[in-house]
Amino acid sequence: MSRPRFQLYIDGAFVDAAASFESLDPSTEKTWADMPAASEEDVDRAVKAAHRAFLDPAWASLTASQRGRLLVKLGDLVAQHAGRLAELETRDTGKIIRETKAQIGYVAEYYRYFGGLADKVEGAHLPIDKAEMEVYLRREPIGVVAAIVPWNSQLFLSAVKLGPALAAGCTVVLKASEEGPAPLLEFARLVHEAGFPEGVVNIITGFGEPAGRALTSHPLVARVAFTGGPATARHIVRNTAENLAHTTLELGGKSPVLVFGDADLESAANAVVAGIFAASGQSCVAGSRLYVERPAQERLLSILKQKAAAIRIGDPQDASTEMGPLATRQQRDRIEKVLAASLEAGAELVCGGKRPAGRNEGWFFEPTIVRARDNAVACVSEELFGPVLSVVAFDTEAEAIGLANDTRYGLASGVFTASLTRAHRLIRSLRAGIVWVNTYRAVSPIVPFGGYGLSGLGREGGRESVLDYTRTKSVWIRTSDDPIPDPFVMR
């Protein structure tokens, strides 16, 4: 039986790339499909197609309401084909099927939400200080958007870029990660079926060099929306020095969760487990740093250890599996290296810390809990992007805030307490783009997200994100019928 072979989607057609590469199933380490590797020429064709479509009346002359209806139709198609997309994402990334199905089903709501916002983008009338002038502002689409997403939660991370960009009237070249691009290359079929004009959405994959560099530095790209790591983001910032593209960067984090002694510890433990062991810890908002008020530490650790031990590790396509493999061998190798250094530095292994027994194939790693003295331990300070929870005790609220904010990152945070006044103090004090109180990992298309520090620049999601894909045009209208005076005649 021949293995699947995917193609690029450029200018309304499915085309082969200049080269291809093998994609491995993270649960078996075996090749399962061939993926296209876009060349610099492929990228150039995609960007030029998007630019041509941006100017073409087939797209440019659509009303905002018509654009919105296309987005709603795309959302309906995502909901209809969520099962197929989920199977591909699970196969290509190792994320368990129960998570991919649930998440992709909800992604449909993002396209419906942004479809509804398409005709809500408004300009403004300005009360100008000149009597014979009327001045108003128009919001116009910024142009060609380069949207770049990682392999984890890629349908969701694409929706918060494609949705507002298309609602605003932009055209897009979407680059899927070379690690697990199958679901986005399949998603291109839904874009095609929805009826977007040729070139409005182009979907490619390939490596950072040359595809990523060529895309982010292309002279016809007006905006870059990127999700990934700080190292790649720095390359993108340097690349956009060539085209001066507007840039949004969502770069993950090392998110703290603070649990106080008055909290419901069973409820907090469930949230902590969901925050760090869901998606095998491969989430931008993973709550990987747990700070616990000292009197509650032993009790909470006991609950967490019991819950971690009960997690079912296995085939990600099996609906009963609760945690699958890591997406790449490199991730597992790095986690093992950092964990070993942390234990050597004095951290205490509470549970996990190794490859599961009997799993000779696949990049599996046990749910792991490590107790550390402070933030100086490597597993506490470094983003591991895996199922490793670092636990540090604190004695005072001020100490907890200091520990939580002692990081280069600042995407998300969680607070568990029965005290409303304490919760409000912490909301003000925590330097993070998201603060969840007595919950964790809740999301909605209505709510924007983004980070502080190395967690990035800008915000995605929510009503205002559509405005980020527009630029303002100032319009001056002289209302007097009198001739304009000769400027060289002195009066």
Please report the pLDDT score of residue 252 as a whole number.
Answer: 85
The mean pLDDT of the chain is: 96
Segment 468-487 mean pLDDT = 95
Please check the confidence at residue 1 and state whether its pLDDT lies above 80: no
CA distances from 298 to 224, 291, 380, 392 (A): 46, 12, 19, 11
Number of residues assigned to the chain: 491
For 152-177, what is each residue's pLDDT tens digit?
A: 999 999 999 999 999 999 999 999 99
> Which pairing describes strands 171-176 and 246-250: parallel, antiparallel, or unpaired?
unpaired
Task: Indicate the Cα dihedral angle 194, 195, 198, 204, nearest 10°.
Answer: 10
For 355-369, what is each residue's pLDDT tens digit?
A: 999 888 999 999 999
d(CA 268, CA 254): 18
More confident residue, 3 or 12: 12
Structural domains of the chain, ranges and CATH numbers in brackets: 8-251+451-475 (3.40.605.10), 256-437 (3.40.309.10)
Please report the pLDDT score of residue 358 as a whole number.
Answer: 87
Please report the pLDDT score of residue 442 as a whole number.
Answer: 95
Task: Indicate the Cα dihedral angle 394, 400, 404, 406, nearest 10°.
Answer: -80
Task: For the chain, give the percent of residues with pLDDT over 70.
Answer: 100
d(CA 319, CA 43): 38
Residue 468 DSSP code: G
Confidence of residue 65 (pLDDT cuts 50, 70, 90): very high
Q: Cα 297 vs. chain centroid, distance in angstroms?
A: 32
Confidence of residue 491 (pLDDT cuts 50, 70, 90): low
Segment 306-332 mean pLDDT = 96
Q: How many CB atoms lie within 10 A of CB 345?
A: 13
Please check the confidence at residue 383 and state whether its pLDDT lies above 80: yes
d(CA 362, CA 286): 22
CB 202 within 8 A of CB 158: no
The two three-digit tokens of residue 93, written as one number: 């990334």
Segment 111-120 mean pLDDT = 98
d(CA 213, CA 239): 7
Please check the confidence at residue 41 and state whether its pLDDT lies above 80: yes
Please check the confidence at residue 404 and state whether its pLDDT lies above 90: yes
Segment 190-200 mean pLDDT = 98
Helix (H) or strand (E) holding 368: strand 368-371
Q: In the chain, what is the straight-line distance between the N-terminal and C-terminal CA atoms, in Å?
A: 89
266 an active-site residue?
no
Segment 387-402 mean pLDDT = 98
Q: Measured on CA atoms in the order 104, 108, 114, 117, is the torsion positive or negative?
A: negative
d(CA 287, CA 334): 19
Segment 440-461 mean pLDDT = 96
Confidence of residue 233 (pLDDT cuts 50, 70, 90): very high
Please report the pLDDT score of residue 115 as a whole number.
Answer: 98
Please check the confidence at residue 490 and state whether its pLDDT lies above 90: no
CB 156 within 8 A of CB 147: no
d(CA 276, CA 12): 40
> Which segments of 195-286 does DSSP mark as H helices, in order?
213-216, 230-239, 265-277
* Given 178, 186, 250, 366, the catalytic residue: 250
Segment 130-147 mean pLDDT = 97
d(CA 219, CA 376): 43
